Amino acid sequence: MEHTIVIHAGATKWDIRQRVWDYIEEKNLANFPRPVHHRIPNFKGAEGACNKIVRLDVFSKTSEVKVDPDKPLEGARLASLQARKVLLVPTPRLRTGLFNKIVPPQNSTNEELRVCSTSRGVKDFSIPLGLDANIQVDLVVVGSVAVSQEGYRIGKGEGFADLEYGMMAAMGAVNESTVVVTIVHDCQVVNIPEGLIESHDLTVDYILTPTRIIKTECRHPKPQGIMWAKLDAETLEKIPILRKLRVLEQEAGRAVTLKSSPVEALPAGQATDPRRPHPGLRPDANQKPKHVCFASAGDGGERDEGGGVEHEFPKSPAGTLYLGGIPAGLRVGELKRLLRERHATPHKLTWQGPRGSAFLHYSDGPAAGRALAALQGLSVDGHTLRAERARGRRGGHRADQTTLDNENIGVGRARYTL
């Protein structure tokens, strides 16, 4: 079947997301919340697509269903409750645990079940389940921004669906026979090159749309557990249940080494300056840094007034690029993700969001040159970004500026590296 949205050769995950989001907005194919950018789109016809879940053989056979909390999946949550399934919904951003088990009032009416299927229901009619919960999920329902008929899925870029599935696999809640379903608008079924799909990416077995049920026959293996090497210490800090799981896996003798920092370590026995935990960026002891600003791990690019860490800027202009034309409202986390997808991740990023620009600092001139080539033709939300050498431009400290070091560039939110 011919795809509504054409994906051009060489497109990245971010390009595909933007294309789908733009198309849905241009064609007015979504309900509240709008705009759909940076969301799992709540597309028109979502309830009808969700209702098709009862036609799947696995649905009639399963007793426990895990459904993501996205707005367009409300119909799938309602159908599960109406069929008296055990309904599990991930806790928002995994802050307080892994699952909430929805427990409707006794002898619930259909209207009460409908309330239980909403975000309010998840909050008011649920109990938390920990890692020791004895659950066996035969059906997983996830939201998507785009999906291919081969079963390749792209989410909104934060990696929670992949991480949740990996955690379920680690605790034995899913196995090779678990079926994964996604529910999308017909236009969200696009061509996704297999080369974009990585080992941690969750693939799907069925796609439900307002007009079709697609069985993908996907052969790409699903995550069999947590891929610790794709996570970092800050991600663990933000997700307590992930820390608990890591301890359990470590006690079981499994490899739990996190993504290593590219910053050079101090020689053994050398004292560290508590204000500068990254010794590879520390200036000479007798020299004051010329350009210093606060490093923040947040997505918004705010200065960390409460306890920021000072870092010196790289001194080589040959290794620095200027990125202009950044649209208003773009979060620094979204820029970081875009740079990773273009394989142009800098060692340090100086964010000047209010000025529509950023400075990207690389190790040397050749590294900056490779990044410059990779960033040509880059666009976000219809805005073409301008990448060029930073010679002659000022990248020093300003009140509206935030510098992120090479660790913080990858961890704006808890997520796998995409």
Structure tokens at 111: 């209207």
Q: What homologous superfamily does CATH list for 13-215?
A: NagB/RpiA/CoA transferase-like (3.40.50.10420)
349 and 295 Cβ atoms separated by less than 8 Å: no
> pLDDT tier at 2 (50, 70, 90 boundaries)?
low
Residue 34 has phi, psi (to 5 degrees) of: -125, 155
pLDDT at position 396 is 45
The one-letter amino acid code at 198 reads E
Q: For residue 96, what pLDDT is reported?
A: 66
Of the chain, the percentage scoring pLDDT greater than 90 comes to 38
Instruction: Quick: pLDDT tens for 69-105.
Output: 999 999 999 999 999 999 999 886 676 667 889 999 9
In the chain, where the domains are located: 13-215, 227-261, 290-302+309-410
Please give the C-alpha separations between residue 113 and each of 78, 82, 105, 317, in angstroms, as whole numbers: 6, 7, 8, 61
Query: Is the pLDDT reported for residue 311 higher than 50?
Result: no
Write down the pLDDT at residue 204: 97
The answer to whether 297 and 309 have CB atoms below 8 angstroms apart is no
pLDDT in tens, 23-72: 999 999 999 998 999 899 999 999 999 999 999 999 999 999 999 999 99
- Cα separation, 213 vs 211, in Å, equals 7
From 3.30.70.330, 1.20.58.110, 3.10.129.10, 3.30.43.10, which CATH number describes the 290-302+309-410 domain?
3.30.70.330
Say how far apart CA 184 and CA 143 lie, in whole Å.
7
In this structure, of 11-20, 128-137, 289-298, 409-418, the range with the lowest mean pLDDT score is 289-298
Q: Name the pLDDT band for 180 (thresholds 50, 70, 90).
A: very high
Q: How far is residue 175's CA from residue 130's CA, in Å, rounded to a whole number? A: 18
| Residue 112 pLDDT greater than 70, yes or no | yes
- What band does 317 get if pLDDT is binned at 50, 70 and 90? low
Closest CA to 109 of 119, 99, 120, 117: 117
> Across 221-325, where does the E strand assignment appear?
292-295, 309-312, 320-324
Tokens 């940076």 identify what position? 38
pLDDT at 211: 97
Q: What does the alpha-carbon distance between residue 371 and residue 388 come to, in Å, rounded to a whole number?
A: 10
Tell me phi and psi for residue 339, to 5 degrees.
Answer: -65, -40
33: preceding bond cis by omega (within 30 degrees): yes
Q: Give the residue, 75 or 300, on which the prediction is more confident.
A: 75
pLDDT class of 191 with cuts at 50, 70, 90: very high
Give CA 283 to chain center in angstroms: 34
pLDDT (0 to 100) of residue 163: 86
* C-alpha to C-alpha distance for 414 and 387, rounded to whole angstroms: 28
**DSSP label at residue 210:** S
Per residue in 227-253, pLDDT (tens digit) is 888 888 877 887 888 888 889 888 888
Query: Strand 320-324 to strand 357-361: parallel, antiparallel, or no bridges (unpaired)?
Result: antiparallel
Once rounded to an integer, what is the mean pLDDT over residues 146-163? 90
